[in-house]
């Protein structure tokens, strides 16, 4: 967890980039991850594919299915994290659904992720009430089980989520799916403000951030922004691996500049 806490040093707002492991192909996913980090990503999220990604919109759903077709597994994502760790020192967080983690075993998952140099995980369909067994194993291995909240999370529940979580709070910007448009007037800003008053976890907002302008606007009210669908879209639209890397680099640089502007 030390790498995560170092990112949120005084006055610094983080850019968190999500990539689906195994998409668009095994091997190119690693190159795209390195490209994103070098272009300004402060934290890397590696999505491990699942057949029923219920929190994701069409773009990431499709990427997840293609990654499965390419043979990507949870064990393969952990191996990918290890290869990236050997090259770069930014925090690496796995994001995906509870079924594959439960199947691997909470203890095995946590131990393997720690040995790979990972820093934590986000499991959207594992609510606070049932997360304790995994959280215990993660903490044993120095890893963060990162909590999630939404604009309609009641204050009492938000308090419990923050106090039980590690790393940072993943605040969903809307009652929707990844890829939906960001609403700058949405109630997530009030939740972000409340979260900062409740505890010391940095608050990072995701869902709907597509441009540098979006990132700058979101970062005004949060400690970091999370971008996944927009990155997935430029990869999907690329005609070649070289074009995919160039497009990812360009978008991440734009997003990083937006976050930087909000940090001033």
Reduce the secondary structure of 167-191 to three states and give it as a string: CCEEEECCCCCCCCCCCCCCCHHHH
CA–CA–CA angle 122, 196, 91 (5° rounding): 35
Q: Is-catalytic flag, 254?
A: no
Rg of the chain on CA atoms, in Å: 17
pLDDT of residue 264: 66
| Catalytically annotated residue among 42, 45, 137, 217 | 45
Do 103 and 132 meet the contact criterion of CB atoms below 8 Å apart? no
Backbone angles phi, psi at 172, to 5 degrees: -75, 130
SS3 content of the chain, % helix, strand, coil (to 5): 50, 15, 35
Half-sphere exposure of 233 (CA within 13 A, CB side): 15
Q: DSSP assignment, residue 48? A: P
pLDDT of residue 263: 75
Q: Which residue matches tokens 């430029």?
A: 234
Q: How far apart are CA 18 and CA 41, in angstroms?
A: 10
Q: Write the class of the CATH domain 2-263.
A: alpha beta
* Cα-to-chain-centroid distance, residue 39: 17
Q: DSSP assignment, residue 211? A: S
Do 94 and 75 meet the contact criterion of CB atoms below 8 Å apart? no
pLDDT of residue 10: 66
Q: Global pTM? A: 0.93
| Catalytically annotated residue among 29, 56, 119, 223 | 56
Q: Is-catalytic flag, 56?
A: yes
CB atoms within 10 A of CB 60: 25
Q: How many residues does the chain have?
A: 264
Q: Which residues pair with 227 in a beta bridge?
A: 17
pLDDT of residue 173: 82
Question: Which among 82, 42, 51 has a CA at the least distance from the CA of 227?
Answer: 42
Per-residue pLDDT tens for 157-191?
999 999 999 999 999 986 554 444 555 556 778 88
pLDDT by residue for the chain (264 residues), tens only, comes to 589 999 998 678 999 999 999 999 999 999 999 999 999 999 999 999 888 777 777 889 899 999 999 999 999 999 999 999 999 999 999 999 999 999 999 999 999 999 999 999 999 999 989 999 999 999 999 999 999 999 889 889 999 999 999 999 999 986 554 444 555 556 778 888 888 888 789 999 998 899 999 999 999 999 999 999 999 999 999 999 999 999 999 999 999 999 998 876
Per-residue pLDDT tens for 213-248?
999 999 999 999 999 999 999 999 999 999 999 999
Where do the structural domains in the chain lie, given as residue ranges?
A: 2-263
* Cα-to-chain-centroid distance, residue 198: 22
Share of the chain above pLDDT 70, in %: 92
Q: In terms of DSSP bridges, do strands 92-95 and 43-47 run parallel, antiparallel, or are they unpaired? A: parallel
Q: Is 148 helix (H, G, I), strand (E, B) or coil?
A: strand
Half-sphere exposure of 201 (CA within 13 A, CB side): 28
């Amino acid at each position: 967890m030390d790498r995560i806490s170092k990112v949120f040093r005084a006055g610094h707002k983080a850019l968190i980039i999500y990539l689906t492991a195994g998409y668009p192909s095994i091997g190119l996913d690693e190159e795209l991850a390195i490209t994103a980090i070098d272009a300004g990503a402060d934290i890397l999220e590696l999505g491990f594919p699942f057949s029923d990604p219920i929190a994701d919109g069409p773009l990431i759903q499709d990427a997840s299915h293609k990654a499965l077709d390419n043979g990507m597994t949870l064990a393969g994502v952990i191996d990918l994290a290890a290869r990236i760790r050997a090259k770069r020192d930014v925090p690496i967080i796995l994001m995906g659904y509870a079924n594959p983690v439960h199947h691997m075993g909470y203890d095995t998952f946590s131990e393997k992720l720690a040995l790979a140099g990972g820093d934590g995980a986000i499991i959207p369909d594992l609510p606070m009430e049932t997360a304790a067994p995994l959280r215990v194993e993660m903490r044993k291995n120095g890893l963060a089980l990162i909590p999630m909240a939404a604009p309609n999370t009641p204050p009492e529940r938000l308090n419990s989520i923050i106090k039980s979580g590690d790393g940072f709070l993943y605040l969903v910007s809307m009652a929707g799916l990844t890829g939906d448009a960001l609403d700058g007037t949405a109630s997530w800003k009030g939740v972000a403000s409340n979260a900062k008053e409740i505890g010391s976890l940095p608050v990072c907002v995701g869902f709907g951030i597509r441009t540098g302008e979006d990132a700058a606007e979101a970062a005004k009210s949060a400690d970091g922004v999370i971008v996944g669908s927009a990155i997935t879209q430029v990869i999907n639209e690329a005609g070649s691996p070289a074009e995919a890397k160039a497009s990812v680099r360009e978008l991440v640089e734009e997003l990083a500049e937006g976050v930087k502007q909000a940090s001033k």
